[in-house]
Amino acid sequence: VPFQVTQQFPLYSNSEGILQLEIRNLSDDVLLFKILTAKTMVKNLFLQNQVIFTILPKRIEKVIATFKPPCTEQNPKVAIQAIIVGDQDETIYTQFVETKQKAWDQKISVAKENNTFFELQIPIMINAGIRPQIGQNEQNTQLRLKDELEQTMISIAKTEADIKRLEGEIFTTQQIVCRDEEIIKMAEQQMDQIKNKNQIHKSFKNIKYSHLVAAFCLILGVVLGVQLK
């Protein structure tokens, strides 16, 4: 059954604005799809009523919508695709595909006001209609946010573990540095001792052989002098 009243619900929102889709029936076989947004955004949207919109940046240059109503005896798996092309060529290309291999293209003009929304009128060749389920969309958003929150908490936990591991490595490195400083000090002390020994050895080496002979002669003369007395 086509819509009897206007159906309006948010598709996506961020700091740039809220993107909304408004669907209402103009007659028994025509539905009006109105896209309301302050600025266009890049987002793939999937709703429970099987409506998919892809918004390209800057302007609403292209919107690909797939409407897949419930399968009934009167409507055996009918799929309707609508491609909205904005920018310079303000033309909507719609393609209707049925299981009977019947397909055709149709051009429908676009009506826009202040670049804030597009109005699209598509002849709907079905009786099943489209029934949006707003609650399911909100539930999907909550589940997505919950999953993102869990992933964020996992990332925080991993980061904290990495920080603790790095702190342990830093502490170990500090201990190694302190130990190396002690080893360096001990090595410096040993070097000083070796230098002192070498200095004494050099002092002995600087004494010439002639000095030793003179000293021996002096000692010998003193001994002989004492004996002569």
- The predicted pLDDT at position 101 comes to 27
pTM of the full structure = 0.24
Q: Where are the domains of the chain?
A: 7-130
Question: Which has the closest alpha carbon to 129: 22, 9, 30?
Answer: 30
Residues 145, 34: Cα–Cα separation, whole Å:
27
Instruction: Say if residue 156's pLDDT is above 60.
Output: yes
Dihedral pair phi/psi, residue 152, rounded to 5°: -65, -45
In the three-class reduction of DSSP (H, G, I as helix; E, B as strand; rest coil), residue 17 is classed as strand
Q: What are phi and psi of 15, to 5 degrees?
A: -65, -20
**Confidence at 192, pLDDT banded by 50, 70, 90:** confident
* pLDDT above 90 as % of the chain: 0
Give the 3-state DSSP-derived string for 57-84, with helices as H, strands as E and coil as C: CCCCCEEEEEECCCCCCCCCCCEEEEEE
Taking 70 as the threshold, does the pLDDT of residue 162 lie above it?
Answer: yes
* More confident call, 24 vs 179: 179
- As a whole number of angstroms, the distance between CA 130 and CA 126 comes to 10
Pairing between β-strand 111-113 and β-strand 91-97 as defined by DSSP bridges = unpaired
pLDDT in tens, 67-117: 444 434 444 333 333 333 333 333 333 333 332 223 222 222 333 333 333
